[in-house]
Structures are given as structure tokens and as C-alpha cells.
Amino acid sequence: MAEIIKELPEVFEEFGEARRNSFLAVKEFKEKGIPVIGSYCTYFPQELAIAMGAAAVGLCSTSDETIGEAEKDLPRNLCPLIKSSYGFAKTEKCPFFYFSDLVIGETTCDGKKKMYELMQDFKDVFVLQLPQTQDAAGVQAYKNELNRLRAYMEEKFNVTITDDDLRKAVCLFNEIRTNTEALANVMQHEPCPITGHDLFKVLYGSTFKLDRTGIPAELKEVTDKIEKDYAGGKMQDKKPRIIITGCPLGGATEKIIDAIENNGGIVVGYENCTGAKQYDRLVDENADDIMEAIAERYLAIGCSVMTPNNNRYDLLGRMIDDFKADGVVDMSLTTCLTYEVESKEIRDFVTGKKGIPYLHVETDYSKTDIEQLNTRVTAFIEML
């Protein structure tokens, strides 16, 4: 029987539906007796979960659906990501959280730290004490934390996480990162071969595929198809090229992408956690100390919690150059103080050192500011 060749729009929609489809997949994993480990943050090395034979899932945190319930326990003037995370956990409306045997938290902000304390009342939560510096001392401190987590997982699940299994997991995730970056790099073409929103569907959707082993081949297939179609003349109109940086994107905050692409621009890159932060830099597969290599790679993520946060500027600068960006949109969530404070230095970096226009937008998970976003982004793009 001949293989059915799918067109790119259908492929993009399948990745867009990956999160919903994985709701059923996680239930099947549980029925097979496979442990499920949930997490909220890019700083958690999923290699640890895969090395012990568990499924690693990202937990729900990008919708305003449960914020009202969360505000019964949490302050109203708290980051929407925290309220959404807690609301989905408390109401059990997130299948990933419901089926998780262990939730990994991390100290990326004070609000999340206190949220995890409340969450521990109804779920087993392990909180990684994240160093705030990315120097050698920070790497050693994070290595100690990851070893503490490794020992906790071994005891809880009655398994042994060997260095050999960790190296195999590292190799798999390095291949995923390499192929993800190759996909993202198709947006270096001018004009772009696809829309930024279609790229985002693949980047975001691929993180919800519980069987990681097939992801590298899937990503390569999509990339090859895009390049083939581009060579055949299928491409977008030439538009101002925008990079989005700042807080995590996904779900409700995809309105930022829409505001750009519905008003004359095109998103060529995402510096956020869902984008380049998740695939930039590889773990040294041949390091003598694999745990130290893992700690070094993950601690290098340029989150605004770090001080100084030089790696964010390094990554953003490389992306501006590689993708020939015409402008940068910096998105921060309401009351996300570290990203809000850092916006000044990001603006100075983008407009001063890189010499291109910059727009900062603050938003939440509601739809009330969509018209305002459209107005501001339209003016920004017209200026370009």
C-alpha cells in the first residue's frame, strides 16, 4: 500500500493537536505501569526521567480556565502562569498532573516556591533548589541538587539510574535538540518558508510527545518537507522579521504571535523557553562526569532569575544576527518581576548594541488586551 504523503498544513495541525492527543497517551502509560513525572520548567533535565524508564510530561500552565479557582488560595495580583499552574493542579483538570507520580518544582521565583508548598498538600512534589548564578560554584551546587533528585527518584520508584542509561538519554535529547534547531533555522530564509505560528505549533507540540524516540525523525521529516517546498517556490510574502523574547509562550499567550502575524509581520524566532532555550546548547555526551555535564548545560539556560543573565543576551544576540531580525518583541507576564526589571537592559541591548527596534508588552492570560496588543504591534511593525 502506497504511503500517504501529508501536506505541511496537515502536519502542522497534527503537532498543534499533540497536547490534546497526549492526554490519552499519558493514561495509557499509567495503565502499563510506566511512571509519569511532571514538571513546569525547562531547568528540569528530562534525561533523568527517561533514564529510569519513566514518561516526562510538561504540566498545564497556559490557560485562564482555572485561575478563578486558584485565586481562592492565591493572591489575585500574582503571575498568571503560577495561578494557572496551581488551578489546574487543584481542580485536577490537567490529566498530566492527575496521572503524575511525581512533580518536579524549581525555585525560579518566590511565587512558584510558595505555590509548591501548597501543592505538596495533595501531590508528591520535589523542589529543585536552583542556584542564581551560572559560574562554576553554581554548576556544582546544581549538580548536587540533581544528584539529590536522582537519589530521591531511585528510592521512590525502586530503580537504579545508571550513568550508562543517562548517557543514552543524553544522546537522545541531544539529537532532538539538534533536529529542533535545524527545523527552527528554516526561518533564516528570506522570505520565510512558513509562518512563525506554524513553526510554533511544531516546537510546542513536539514537547507533548511522550515517546521521545520518534521525535528526531519526525522533526527531520518536517524540515526536509519545508525545504523541498521552499525550493519549489512555496514561501511567505516578504514581511518585517520579528524575534520574540521574554516569558514562556504557549496557550493564551499565543495571542502575541497572532498580533504580530495578523498585522503585517512574521515571527522568525522564539528565544523563550518553548523556543531556543530548550534546544540551544548540547550536553557533553563524552564527559567523565555525566551529571556535571547535565548540570552545566541546564544551568546555562538564560532565564531572568539568573544574575547576571549574560546567556540570555548571548542567545538573543546570536538569533538577531542569524535570523536577520528587523525587530524584537519582549513579552512579560503581569507581575513577573525579574523579566519586567530585565526589560530595560534587553531594550538597551537590542536598540543599542544590535541597532534594531524593540517593543515591550506586558500581558496576562485573558483576552481583554487583544485590541490593545493589535494596536501597539501594528504601530511597531509600520515603523519597521
Low-confidence ranges of the chain (pLDDT < 70): 1-5
Nearest to 200 by CA among 136, 273, 95: 273
Whole-prediction pTM = 0.96
Distance between CA atoms of 57 and 53, rounded to whole angstroms?
13
- Hey, what amino acid is at 355? G
pLDDT value at residue 101 = 98
Provide φ and ψ at 311, rounded to 5°.
-70, -25
Is the Cβ–Cβ distance between 251 and 335 less than 8 Å? Answer: no
> What would the 3-class secondary structure string for the chain be?
CCCCCCCHHHHHHHHHCHHHHHHHHHHHHHHCCCCEEEECCCCCCCHHHHHCCCEEEECCCCCCCCHHHHCCCCCCCCCHHHHHHHHHHHHCCCHHHHHCCEEEEECCCHHHHHHHHHHCCCCCEEEECCCCCCCHHHHHHHHHHHHHHHHHHHHHHCCCCCHHHHHHHHHHHHHHHHHHHHHHHHHHCCCCCCCHHHHHHHHHHHCCCCCHHHHHHHHHHHHHHHHHHHHCCCCCCCCCEEEEEECCCCHHHHHHHHHHHCCCCEEEEECCCCCHHHHCCCCCCCCCCHHHHHHHHHHCCCCCCCCCCHHHHHHHHHHHHHCCCCEEEEEEECCCHHHHHHHHHHHHHHHHHCCCCEEEEEECCCCCCHHHHHHHHHHHHHHC
pLDDT value at residue 367 = 95
CA distance readout (Å), 273 to 44, 64, 158, 167, 200: 12, 20, 32, 23, 12
| Grid cell in block for residue 283 | 550536553
Is the Cβ–Cβ distance between 150 and 294 less than 8 Å? Answer: no
Distance between CA atoms of 252 and 161, rounded to whole angstroms?
37
**How are beta strands 241-246 and 266-270 bridged, if at all?**
parallel
pLDDT value at residue 21 = 84
pLDDT value at residue 4 = 44
- Hey, what amino acid is at 74? L
pLDDT value at residue 5 = 56
Write down the architecture of domain 8-161 according to CATH: 3-Layer(aba) Sandwich (3.40)
Burial 84-108 (b: 16+ CB within 10 A, else e): bbbbbbbeeebbbbbbbbbbbbbbb
pLDDT value at residue 20 = 81
Query: What are the sequence ranges of the domains in the chain?
Result: 8-161
pLDDT value at residue 22 = 87
Distance between CA atoms of 48 and 287, rounded to whole angstroms?
16
